[in-house]
Structure 1
Amino acid sequence: MMKKIMTIVLSGIMMLSFMIMPIHASSSYQAQLYASVTDAGEVVDRIVIDFHSLKSLKGITKNSFTINAKSIVDFGVDKGNVYYDTNRTIEKVKKMGKKVILYLNQGEGSTLTWLTEQRNYPGKLIYTITLNHDLYSIKKEDVRFVIKKKIINEETSKFRSVKGHYGLNYQFYNANSRRLIVWFHGNGEGDIKGQTHNNVAQMLANRGTVGWATKEAQRTFKGANVMAFQVPDTWYNADSENLLEKAYKEIIFVAKKYRINKIMVSGASAGGYMSTRMIIRYPRLFDTGIIICPAIVNQVSNEDILTMKKAKTSIWLVQGETDASVDPEQSSKCMWSLLSEGQRVHQRTDRFGYTTYETANDRLKLTLYKTYDGKIKVYEDYNYDHRQEAVYYNDHWTWIYVMRNHPRSVKGISIFNWASRYMK
């Protein structure tokens, strides 16, 4: 399951709660919150304050403000409970005309809450901005900040929420292309027995949705539509709820509407399970697939995996050498062993800490990442100092590497570039 690290979050589709107090217009300033989807999920990472009537911004620094953020659980048995209540870390301040941009540490400020029901769900956010010193003739006690309700996220705004025709909702990015990337999320991003129809958790919990719509990804694939499903409850109900056929029908509907002729499938954890099941059920549907830490243990038989040899789909598997959630020996390594049997194999260990194995025909690959005491290591610049610092995440979260286009083949070809060859 894709749990969140503490404090992350907020999105352009979520609303802030705030209190408007009677104030003088001369001391009222509007503030706009912005969010980004980091490797660990969506966070509020910038606030833009419009000091329209202030003569000068001289003297304003990051110490001029206190930003309090509170997240309230908004669904489930813990609804109404405080998820976090903290003062955000202001890393730097930038001035543009009459506007001040406050850059907040990206390791804090999650817009999602991890529910007792084992799902990510948008929290109810309350932001309060306090001025810590006087501004010229204006006393700090008289200054109030009015926070706009809608939070802006430039990446998620590229997508639109679609109610499926066959029972599966999804987020869709229209690239005006004849190529389609289908993403299946992990178990933590599903709905809760179809009760919320939120259709956003799969876009906010990690970069598995928005990462395919970046400039780099779109340039590599020469334009590709993106379809990111949200399951009503869990992908493990694929058979009992007929989810395979429902997903197939939704994909075919989109394929006909946009005249799609090339399709890639990708998914992580439970989404890796679903990707595997879809290739087995529909061996002629997908041209290529990127399957990450697939949760197939006791879910997919060896006999079914072996049928994938007859599929037209080229496959790249990715996982950590260790994985506390899904045993690599029974998932990606098992799939690799079965599908590569009898073929000539090459391998390459990269200096960045992973080994890639591939068949001589280039159609099957496995990348295993080095782990560190049950963690994967990546480098982040959460405090905007232009220095990458090591951050350790759960060893299950190897989708981070994929969405960074990090894995390389034996010949040094990136995973996106490799997949794009089958999407021409």
Structure 2
Amino acid sequence: MRTPITRRTLLVSGATAGAAALLGVPAASADGREHREAVVTPLAEVLDGGEQVTSLAISSPALHRADRSSLAVSTFAVHVTATNPLSGEIAYEQDRVVTAASWTRRGAVALELEHGWGVDGGGTLQYMGAHGRNVVLDLDYAITQVEPLRGRGGGGAVVLDSFRQGRLSDPEVDAFAHHATASGLNYRLFSPVGGGGRDGAALVVWLHGGGEGGLLTGGYDYYDNEAQLRANRGALGFATPEAQDVFGGAYVLAPQATSAWMQDGDGFAPLVLEAIEEVVAAHRIDRSRIHVVGCSNGGYMSLKLVAEYPETFASSVPICCGIGARDGSGGYFVSDDELAAMTTPTWLVASADDTTLDPEDNTVYAHERIDGSIMSLYDDVTWDGNTFPGHWSWIYVARNDPHHDGASIWEWMATTKR
């Protein structure tokens, strides 16, 4: 039986020599021990360009004795080594820039790290181009206390001798519970607060891109139920307070393909439907408000599901989708007849500069054949001052940017029923 690989617990890390010895100061201790261990928790966020470790929390009973005014940006130094768990190769190794240092309400040290689009050394995933997969990295954070903290009331210097790394924390990702269907398809599920109204809550099904599936070929046995949430904000956007307010509460289902949806659309369609049915059976969900949204491979799969199960979905949002070669010679295909027969309300999204799946051959082509469909075709993918690859138009949907006839895409979905 396959054992799923997860990276929810990271490697243990620590200084090779005691910080007190390195700083040349005695480590005073209220309990008489010189050894001062701290737990380091990497805190991550899924940004528009993918998940990054954006800060660290350092906690230790010893810190309760520290004079808070003595903490500075230069007190601690941070070094990270990221290793690909499949190849064993180091993806990156470098110092992280500490941009701010502060105290939490619980008396831990919070170190803000430089992060954002174009900043190296923060990513939690590596794209293995030869296999077309994103793999969650093993991250080893080494912390060095460069300067001692003053003790309160003139007490001895507070120095942490060793650091033990804790579990990676990303509150948005962690809010999605881990599940697998009876057939073994992984999925993550976000559950709303409250029941979502008299008839139950809406259900948004997020279908990931090709890079977020499992890798069960080439001698690998990797199926982690993580990458579909960590690679981009596609699923997470619908779990934000803003989206939940628009929908009046919505479950968000994010299944994970064992490979890529495009590799076996006929085989994956009933497996995704099984996941939907299991979630609907277990929760109070309004069957008239089940929405399917997908990007790239998932954009194809959203169309495939609508073609296979035309009475299931209230709306379909294919983003930068693929529909296959028109002669059906490729590994995936949505026929002209299937497109013309679609009656599920459809809103297609893409960027004109997409070089991965040509928008004219895919998004525009589908739009012209799906009666009554809406299309948002952007010039490029620019958000918050950053310009991303043209294929990444899912950013716009995750940020509720597309609008039509005065309604945002979330509002349109939320008010559309089957």
Shared fold per TM-score greater than 0.5: yes
Give 5+ residue unaligned stretches, structure 2: 1-5, 19-32, 326-332
- C-alpha separation in 2, matches of 1:215 and 1:145: 39
Which residue number in structure 2 is paired with residue 339 of structure 1? 370
Give CA deviations for 1:99-130 in whole Å, capped at 9, x if unaligned.
32111122241111212422111111110111
Instruction: Select which of 225, 228, 231 maps to 2:257.
Output: 231
**3-state DSSP class of the match of 2:318?**
strand
2:382 is aligned with 1:377: yes
2:212 is aligned with 1:189: yes
**3-state DSSP class of the match of 2:270?**
helix
**3-state DSSP class of the match of 1:74?**
coil
Deviation of the 1:32 alpha carbon: 2.2
Which residue number in structure 2 is paired with residue 48 of structure 1? 57
- C-alpha separation in 1, matches of 2:17 and 2:93: 25
Give CA deviations for 1:293-323 in whole Å, capped at 9, x if unaligned.
0022322222221111xx3x21111000121
Which residue number in structure 2 is paired with residue 421 of structure 1? 415
Which residue number in structure 1 is paired with residue 91 of structure 2? 83
Deviation of the 1:27 alpha carbon: 3.8
Give CA deviations for 1:318-364 in whole Å, capped at 9, x if unaligned.
00012110001111100111124xxxxxxxxxxxxxxxxxx5xxxx2
Relative to structure 1, the CA distance from residue 326 to residue 245 in structure 2 (aligned partners, 3 Å threshold; closer, same or farther) is same
- Amino acid in structure 2 at the alignment position of 1:322: D
- C-alpha separation in 2, matches of 1:408 and 1:92: 38
- C-alpha separation in 1, matches of 2:166 and 2:36: 20
- C-alpha separation in 2, matches of 1:31 and 1:257: 37
Which residue number in structure 1 is paired with residue 236 of structure 2? 210
Deviates more, 1:18-27 or 1:330-339: 18-27
Deviation of the 1:414 alpha carbon: 1.0
Which residue number in structure 1 is paired with residue 137 of structure 2? 123
Which residue number in structure 2 is paired with residue 385 of structure 1? none
1:17–1:125 Cα contact (<8 Å) kept: no
- C-alpha separation in 2, matches of 1:88 and 1:55: 24
Instruction: Select which of 95, 100, 108 maps to 2:103.
Output: 95
* Equivalent residue runs for 1:135-174 within 5 Å: 135-136=149-150, 143-174=160-191
Give CA deviations for 1:25-75 in whole Å, capped at 9, x if unaligned.
454333322111111111111112235243302232212221111100101
Deviation of the 1:239 alpha carbon: 4.5
Instruction: Select which of 330, 333, 336 maps to 2:361.
Output: 330
Deviation of the 1:423 alpha carbon: 4.5
Task: Compute the RMSD of aligned alpha carbons.
Answer: 2.3
Highest Rg: 1 or 2? 2
Relative to structure 1, the CA distance from residue 272 to residue 337 in structure 2 (aligned partners, 3 Å threshold; closer, same or farther) is same
- Amino acid in structure 2 at the alignment position of 1:113: Q
* Equivalent residue runs for 1:171-320 within 5 Å: 171-175=188-192, 176-177=195-196, 178=200, 179-193=202-216, 195-239=221-265, 242-260=267-285, 261=287, 262-298=289-325, 299-308=333-342, 311=343, 313-320=344-351
2:265–2:301 Cα contact (<8 Å) kept: no
Deviation of the 1:96 alpha carbon: 3.6
Which residue number in structure 2 is paired with residue 13 of structure 1? 8
**3-state DSSP class of the match of 1:294?**
coil
Relative to structure 1, the CA distance from residue 104 to residue 12 in structure 2 (aligned partners, 3 Å threshold; closer, same or farther) is farther
- C-alpha separation in 2, matches of 1:96 and 1:167: 41
2:401 is aligned with 1:406: yes
- What is the TM-score of this pair, normalised by structure 2? 0.82
- C-alpha separation in 2, matches of 1:27 and 1:421: 56
Deviation of the 1:277 alpha carbon: 0.4
Aligned residue pair count: 369
- Amino acid in structure 2 at the alignment position of 1:54: R
- C-alpha separation in 2, matches of 1:397 and 1:14: 29
- C-alpha separation in 1, matches of 2:278 and 2:48: 31
Give CA deviations for 1:206-253 in whole Å, capped at 9, x if unaligned.
01122211111111111111110100111123356x211121222122
